[in-house]
Amino acid sequence: MRKNFGKPLDNRNMVAFNQVKRFTSPQRSNQPSDEFSCEVRVTQRRFIPGLKDVARTAGVSMTTVSRYLNADLVLPPDTAQRVDTAIRQLGYVPNPHARSLGRGRSDTIGLVIPTIANPFFALLAAAVEEAAEAKGLGVLLNATSNNASRELQHVARMRRNQVSGLLFVSAHYHTPELVQALNDTRGLVLIDEDIPGVHSAKVLYDNYRGGWLAGEHFVEHGHRRIAFIGGPSELASTRDRFAGLRDAAAQADAEVTFEMYGAYAAAHGEDAARALLSLGRPPTAVFVSSGEIMIGLLDALHRAGVAVPERLSLIVFDDAGPLHLFDPPLTAIRQPIAELGARAVELMLAASHGDPAETEVRLPVELVKRASVAPPASV
């Protein structure tokens, strides 16, 4: 005999009992025995208060609570107190993602960098986080792993997350698609590397001055044949560092007799060392454009038995790592990384509040003299 047990259980009608109940049908007289039993497992659900609960408890509308939480509405003191009390009593926690969607912005800024393995970018990320925290902002960090195709993906992700602004560092050739995406991004600030065609605030280093200081220091020690090992040739920072080195050398009748460009990677430094050592009359000094390249260069020189600075003087544009612990301690061009992060956050906040977007700040660099530069063994 088929029994109709009624409508299926509706989850909305479950009650908060964490137990199993057994129901048995009563025995009817003059009827065949028709006892049946079923188990109903009732699960407890934790009450999670929402905006509607806060509004009902405080005696106001949901719109009023929403605008109050988003700082878009100033309530009378007694009303504000009722809302605050309701939030506290209910344990209501606003959803930050929902709030950002509603306001079109969030309390988070985005930071896109090539890698966190490089000490320079790790220190930059820490500087940005410290500056943002002082302004009550969080930081959403994305690293591209030096993969140019990921830059566009990360920019799109930041925009979907409704970040208040985006701090962007690139180390690659820039496609038209990336330039367009960056120009469409609110509160954009370029850091460390300029990108032609992008109209935004920028915080950069004086790369030309860095190259000049290196060239000046070399010629003061009597060097006349100088090498430049640069990053990607299409980057403005690479070109500016070379130009400064070349011009400083030319003023002292010295010249850059060897230049080589490639990725910001140790492998590029190794290739450059082999190319230098293959020359019949190699340079006596080398200016290296980044710490990553320098690591590969030094390793290859060491394996070839070339001593620094006895046979080759060296200056690196990057004082982010513990260069004073090298043997010999390395002379370097130092960048003010903490100031770079702080100024970038300031410009981002200004841009997000409608201040002129195309502001360019060039931070000064300095030469840190150590022990990797000496007069050439022979001229």
Note whether residue 15 is domain-resident: no
**pLDDT mean over 16-44:** 47
What pLDDT does 178 receive? 92
* 331-334 and 313-316 strand pairing: parallel
What's the chain's average pLDDT? 85
Give the count of domains, the chain. Answer: 3
**pLDDT mean over 292-305:** 97
Same domain, 332 and 213: yes
Asked whether residue 100 carries a pLDDT value surpassing 70, the answer given is no
Q: Return the CATH number at 234.
A: 3.40.50.2300
What pLDDT does 46 receive? 60
Range in 8-17, 179-188, 225-234, 287-296 the model is least confident about: 8-17
Same domain, 163 and 261: no
What pLDDT does 67 receive? 77
What pLDDT does 24 receive? 47
Note whether residue 325 is domain-resident: yes
**pTM, to two decimals:** 0.73
**Contact criterion met (CB below 8 Å) for 345 and 132:** yes
> pLDDT for 107-151, tens place per residue?
899 999 999 989 999 999 999 999 999 998 999 999 998 888 889
Same domain, 220 and 301: yes
Alpha-carbon Rg of the chain, whole angstroms? Answer: 32
**Confidence category of residue 23, pLDDT binned at 50, 70, 90:** very low
Range in 61-70, 274-283, 289-298 the model is least confident about: 61-70
Same domain, 165 and 183: yes
Range in 184-188, 246-250, 252-256, 280-284 the model is least confident about: 184-188
Which amino acid is located at 365 in the chain? V
Give CA–CA dist 109/94, Å, rounded.
Answer: 19
What pLDDT does 128 receive? 97
Beta bridge partners, 286, equal 227, 314
Asked whether residue 103 carries a pLDDT value surpassing 90, the answer given is no
Give CA–CA dist 50/33, Å, rounded.
Answer: 50
Same domain, 302 and 225: yes
Same domain, 56 and 132: no
**Contact criterion met (CB below 8 Å) for 224 and 255:** yes
Angle between helices 62-69 and 77-90 (to 10 degrees): 90
What pLDDT does 48 receive? 79
Note whether residue 79 is domain-resident: yes
The DSSP-derived string for 44-90 is: -------HHHHHHHHTS-HHHHHHHHTT--PPPHHHHHHHHHHHHHH
**Contact criterion met (CB below 8 Å) for 119 and 291:** yes
> pLDDT for 217-228, tens place per residue?
999 999 999 999
Asked whether residue 20 carries a pLDDT value surpassing 60, the answer given is no
The separation between CA 144 and the C-alpha centre of its own chain, rounded to angstroms, equals 9
Give CA–CA dist 145/288, Å, rounded.
Answer: 22
Coil, strand, or helix at residue 139?
strand
Coil, strand, or helix at residue 275?
helix
Asked whether residue 19 carries a pLDDT value surpassing 60, the answer given is no
**Confidence category of residue 377, pLDDT binned at 50, 70, 90:** confident
> pLDDT for 146-196, tens place per residue?
888 889 889 988 888 888 899 999 988 788 999 999 999 989 999 999 999
Nearest to 139 by CA among 165, 104, 105: 165
Nearest to 268 by CA among 309, 299, 236, 225: 299
Asked whether residue 298 carries a pLDDT value surpassing 60, the answer given is yes
Owning domain of residue 349: 106-205+338-361
Note whether residue 33 is domain-resident: no
> pLDDT for 336-376, tens place per residue?
999 999 999 999 998 877 766 668 999 999 999 999 999 99
What pLDDT does 186 receive? 87
Name the phi and psi angles at 27, rounded to 5: -80, 125
**pLDDT mean over 1-20:** 42
What pLDDT does 17 receive? 40
What percent of the chain is predicted at pLDDT more than 90?
Answer: 61
Note whether residue 35 is domain-resident: no
Same domain, 69 and 148: no
**pLDDT mean over 313-322:** 95
Note whether residue 61 is domain-resident: yes
Same domain, 228 and 180: no
